[in-house]
Amino acid sequence: VSEASSDTPSRALAILKDIFGYPAFRGLQAEVITHIAGGGDCLVLMPTGGGKSLCYQIPALLRDGVAVVVSPLIALMQDQVAALHEAGVRAAFLNSSMTQAEAAAVERGMLTGMHNLIYVAPERLLTSRFLDLLSRTHLSLFAIDEAHCVSQWGHDFRPEYIQLSILHKRFPNVPRIALTATADNVTREEIVERLGLNGARIFISSFDRPNIRYQIVDKVNGRAQLLDFIRAEHDGDAGIVYCLSRRKVEETAAWLVGKGIRALAYHAGMGAPDRSRNQEQFLRVDGVVMVATIAFGMGIDKPDVRFVAHLDLPKSVEGYYQETGRAGRDGQAATAWMAYGLGDVVQQRRMIESSEAEPQFKRVASAKLEALLALCESTTCRRVRLLGYFGESSTSSACGNCDVCLNPPQVWDGTVAAQKALSCVFRTDQRFGAGHLIDVLRGNETGRVTQWGHDKVSTFGIGKELDEKTWRAVFRQLAALGLLAADVEGHGSLHLTAASRAVLNGSQAVPLRLQPERKKTSARTGSA
């Protein structure tokens, strides 16, 4: 068999053209394919839409035997196998959606070499019966898709993935390729360690998605801002709107429909028929806006999603990157838009603190949240920050295609404002939320202010020089900077932290960012 021969690259290119119908490889695809076709192990880090599937599909056709692809999602398997069939490739999947007779037929086909690729869920692969079957099968390679599912600290953790290291022990001569779009160092090291990939080559693509314009706005009224954004920049376009809760998904979808937007809902609490009907519509009908929880998206291959919007803060930069990465997979101009406010900071912190998780998990979760908050509050190019997070520090010049580059925020000395805000929190006994505190600072004699006697405290009316919107931005940033914390019960009341003292006694300055009024720019000008 000519597995490691020198004509591998030209044979791979022929398969790319003849079977998949593409003229050229992208990025690192050719290198990865040559490596794995030659029998080497590897870990491939490529952004969503980067073209990971061909990295194992083509070697599967170059090598003799059956390629076994481990994939965590049934929907993803089915789509991939359907696409392979269309291209004329012999592929099949094994999962819990099929009858025993169907599964038995596929398994018999494995032994007789009927398939080039078999997609299988990890829990099935790990049964002793299936491992036994594998030992009687002529195998070409193992592909482990969504390899970050081994990471205990990620939100896609699948306990079965950890046991996939058994593949190497049982079948040491079968090459393995692990693939993921999650690229931070910690996850990378975890994958190598848990899958026993020491000595494997690591291929890392650039994570830059130059056609995506990043835009993070101060949240005032999230859904109204969303509607303005869609109407101004993406009227009639397909998009995804992410919300944290199922209820908010439904309310937002219904509200958008009432405003004439063709919106649908998707979350894990809906019945399977409704979910798949909405997903089908999103895929087949032009210009549908899918309002969804993060249950939606993994494995969705729709190239012309023109925008991804977040009405709530994701949990981490990885989450933000993965979710926004679903926009513009066709390479045309697309927007990643997010509205973010004090409530988001408070809510995410509370979710971490009140979770039952172990302390170490909470520390990791907090650190991940802090990194995302730093991205939200960034006064320098968002893309440079984002790529820096993934270890791409070479990308150091401003991108010209994010809100910070296009419309730079003003940085002002917020020290005095911060001192006023913090002393107002203190003078009102650390029991109130930002809305009330802003009323006190601005000297608004609301019923609540007089009822609590807050028109008599020394901080009443000392903040008239700033408008309400600016004060909101001040409180949000104080929370993001850890200078204020919210109560765990969820009433939104703010209290001082250990770090507040240095600001109050004047030993620490507080530079703050101020979002300028939006310039009327057209999103449609600079295309990719």
Contacting positions for Zn ion (CB under 5 A): 381, 383, 398-399, 402, 405
Residue 76's SS3 state is helix
Which is nearer to Zn ion, 25 or 214 (by Cβ)?
214
Backbone angles phi, psi at 202, to 5 degrees: -110, 125
* Distance (Å) of CA 71 to CA 101, 146, 149, 413, 419: 22, 7, 10, 51, 53
Residues 293-352 that bind ligand ADP (CB under 6 A): 301, 303, 329
CB of 385 to Zn ion, least distance (A): 9
For the CB of residue 380, give the shortest distance to Zn ion in the complex, in Å.
Answer: 8
Smallest gap from residue 54 Cβ to ligand ADP (A): 5
What are φ and ψ of residue 392, in 5° steps?
Answer: -95, 75
Name which of ligand ADP, Zn ion, none residue 53 binds, using a CB cut-off of 5 to 8 Å depending on partner kind.
ligand ADP
Question: In this structure, what is the dihedral angle of CA atoms 330, 333, 335, 336, given to the nearest 10 degrees?
Answer: 50
Other beta carbons less than 10 A from residue 405's beta carbon: 17
Contacted by 251, from ligand ADP, Zn ion, none: CB < 5 to 8 Å by type:
none
Minimum CB distance to ligand ADP, residue 211 (Å)? 13
383 binds, among Zn ion, ligand ADP, none (CB under 5 to 8 A by kind): Zn ion
Of the pair 29, 278, the CB lying nearest ligand ADP is at 29
Strand, coil or helix: 291 = strand
Which of Zn ion, ligand ADP, none binds 26 (CB below 5-8 Å, type-dependent)?
ligand ADP
**CB closer to ligand ADP out of 22 and 412:** 22
- SS3 (DSSP) at 29: helix
Read off the tokens for 65.
Answer: 């035997």
By CB under 6 A, what part of segment 133-162 binds ligand ADP? none
Give the tokens for residue 506: 């004047």
Half-sphere exposure of 455 (CA within 13 A, CB side): 9
Structure tokens at 225: 């801002």
Which of 50, 59, 328, 409 lies at the binding interface for ligand ADP (CB under 6 A)? 50
Query: Which of 8, 53, 187, 322 is in the footprint of ligand ADP by CB under 6 A?
Result: 53
Cβ atoms of 208 and 385 closer than 8 Å: no
Tell me the Ramachandran region of residue 213: left when phi exceeds 0, alpha when psi lies from -120 to 50, beta otherwise: beta
Residue number with CB closer to Zn ion (147 or 402): 402
Q: Which is nearer to Zn ion, 109 or 388 (CB)?
A: 388
User: Residue 309 and residue 340: Cα distance in Å, rounded?
Assistant: 11
Please report the beta strands in 71-200, taking only residues with DSSP state E, as ranges in sequence order. Answer: 91-94, 117-120, 139-144, 176-180
Of the candidates 395, 389, 403, the one whose C-alpha atom is nearest the C-alpha of residue 318 is 389
Which of 46, 76, 212, 292 lies at the binding interface for ligand ADP (CB under 6 A)?
46
**Interface with ligand ADP (CB under 6 A), residue from 8, 48, 187, 428:** 48
Is residue 214 within 8 Å of residue 383, measured between CB atoms? yes
Match 């791979």 to its residue by tokens: 12
Closest separation between CB of residue 226 and Zn ion, Å? 22
Point out the residue whose Cβ comes nearest to ligand ADP.
Answer: 51
CA distances from 162 to 19, 167, 515 (A): 34, 11, 45
Contact in structure between 291 and 265 (CB atoms under 8 Å) = yes
- The Cα 527–Cα 466 span in angstroms is 38
Which residue stretch of 44-52, 70-78, 422-430, 499-507 sits at the interface with ligand ADP (rule: CB under 6 A)? 44-52
Residue 275 touches which of ligand ADP, Zn ion, none (CB < 5 to 8 A by kind)?
Answer: none
Q: How far from each other are the two terminal CA atoms of the chain, in whole angstroms?
A: 43
Q: Rounded to an integer, what distance in angstroms lies between the CA atom of residue 415 and that of residue 507?
A: 10
- Check binding of 9 to ligand ADP (CB under 6 A): no
In the complex with ligand ADP, the residue whose CB is nearer, 78 or 419, is 78
CA gap 430, 423 in Å, rounded: 10
From the list 35, 52, 420, 454, which residue makes contact with ligand ADP (rule: CB under 6 A)? Answer: 52
Question: In angstroms, what is the minimal distance from the CB of 387 to ligand ADP?
Answer: 17
Q: Give the residue, chosen from 38, 51, 210, 388, that forms a contact with ligand ADP under the rule CB under 6 A.
A: 51
Q: What's the angle, vertex CA 131, arms to CA 126 and CA 137, rounded to 5?
A: 140
Q: Which does 151 bind (CB under 5 to 8 A by kind): Zn ion, ligand ADP, none?
A: none
Q: Which of 432, 437, 474 is nearest to 345 (CA)?
A: 474
**Which of ligand ADP, Zn ion, none is residue 75 near (CB under 5 to 8 Å by kind)?**
none
Q: Which of ligand ADP, Zn ion, none has residue 511 at its interface (CB below 5 to 8 Å by kind)?
A: none
Q: Which of 14, 22, 254, 429 binds ligand ADP (CB under 6 A)?
A: 22
Q: Residue 394 CB, nearest distance to Zn ion (Å)?
A: 15
Select from 49-57, 97-105, 162-170, 220-228 the region that touches ligand ADP (CB under 6 A): 49-57
Among 9, 11, 13, 26, binds ligand ADP (CB under 6 A): 26
Q: Out of Zn ion, ligand ADP, none, which partner does residue 381 contact, by CB within 5 to 8 A per kind?
A: Zn ion
Number of Cβ atoms within 10 Å of the Cβ of 161 = 26
Give the gyration radius of the chain's Cα atoms. 26
Query: One symbol per residue from 77 to 96: x for binding ligand ADP (CB under 6 A), - otherwise; what is it?
Result: --------------------
**Chain residues that interact with ligand ADP, rule: CB under 6 A:** 22, 25-26, 29, 46, 48-54, 301, 303, 329
